[in-house]
Structure 1
Amino acid sequence: MIVVDLIRNASGELYGKISYEPQKNYLLMKWMGPCSEEEVKTASMRMYEWQKREGSKKNCKFHVHDTKELEGAWAGLVDWITNYFFPLNFEHGLRYNISIISPDMFSKFSSVELKKRSNNKVTTILCETISQAESWISKNYDV
C-alpha cells in the first residue's frame, strides 16, 4: 500500500488518508473521526486529482472508502457525490465505489443511501471489511 495523501482539517487533525494498492489496483480513502461536508468534498477532490493524474494511466476502476472510523451523517452529500464527483471520476476510468460501512448509524445510513442512488456510471458496493472489498475486486477485476 502506497500512501498518496494525508488530509488534515483546519486544526491540523488528520481526517483522511489516501493510499494506492498496486497489487489489486485500487485507491483507498480511510476516513477518520468527524468531518464537515466541506472537508468530505475537499478530501474527495484529492482522490479525483489522483484518479485524473494516475488512476487513468493505471486503469484504476475501483475506489474504496473505509468509513469504519467516520462519525456522523454525510447523506447531504449523496447528490453531490452521484451528480458531480462520480461523473468527474468516471471520465478518468472509475467504475466502482466500494464503501466499507461504519458501525456509526448515521454514517451507515449515508452509505446505504449512496448505494440506492448509484447511477449507471459508477456502481456503489457495500462491504463490511477491507478483505471483503479486496475479494470483490479480485472477482470483478476484469469487468
Structure 2
Amino acid sequence: MATRIIRPEPTPSAPVELRHIMGELYVTIQLKKDYIEAKWQGHITADNVVCAAQAFLEFLRKNPCQKLLNDKSEVTGDWQEANDWLQFEWLPQALGAGLRYLAHVYSLSMFSKLAARELEERITPQLSMKNFYERRLAEEWLLEQEDTAAGQRAARA
C-alpha cells in the first residue's frame, strides 16, 4: 500500500495594510477563500499602485493563488503612470507566481477608470483581466474561472 501524505490546508496570512505617510489606509491585501482581495480606498497615486503591487507579489508568493479581486471602487486619483511598470515588471512576476485571473472593480473617478482600461489592454491576453462596475459581478466572474491547480490536484487524487 502506498503512503499517502496529508498536508493541512495553508492558513490565511494576516492582511497587509499599506498607508500613506500621514497614516491613511489606502489598500488592504488579504486572502479570501477562493481568491486574494486588494481593497483600495481614498486618493491614490501611481507610486501607491507600484508599492501595493510589490506587496501583492510578496503576499502571492506566500499564499499561492490564481485569482485577484482588485476593488478600486472607493478611490480617486490618476495612477496611469504605473501601467508601464505593471506591464513590464509586475506582470511577468505575477504570472511566474501563479496569478491567472484579475477582476477589477472600477472607481467612479474617470482618471482611475481610464487607467484600468488601459491596463487591461496592455496585459491581456497574458493575464485574463476583466473590468466591472459592480463588485458582485466581478466576484461572480472570478469564481467562475477555472482553477487549473485545483483541477490538476483533483485529477491526481
What TM-score bracket applies, with the shorter chain setting the length?
0.7 to 0.9
Q: Deviations over 1:38-73 (max 9, x none)?
A: 222111111110101112xxxx11111111111111
- Equivalent residue number for residue 135 of structure 1: 140
1:109 to 108, 111, 114: 114
Report the residue type matching 1:51 in the other structure: L
How far is 1:138 from its partner?
A: 2.3
Q: Does 1:75 align with 2:80?
A: yes
SS in 2 for 1:98: strand
Give distance in 2, aligned partners of 1:54 and 1:142. 15
Distance 2:114 2:132 in 1: 13
Q: Secondary structure in 2 aligned to 1:68?
A: coil
Length-normalised TM-score, structure 2: 0.80
Correspondence for 1:16: 27
Aligned-residue offset at 1:2:
7.4
Q: Percent identity?
A: 27
Bigger fraction of residues in strand: 1
TM-score, structure 1 as length reference: 0.87
Deviation at 1:3, TM superposition (A): 5.4
Give the total of aligned pairs.
137
1:39 to 9, 26, 48: 48
Q: Distance in 1 between matches of 2:48 and 2:58?
A: 15
Pairwise CA distance, 1:74: 1.1
Q: Which runs of 5+ in 2 are unaligned?
A: 1-11, 149-157
- Provide the aligned C-alpha RMSD in A: 1.7
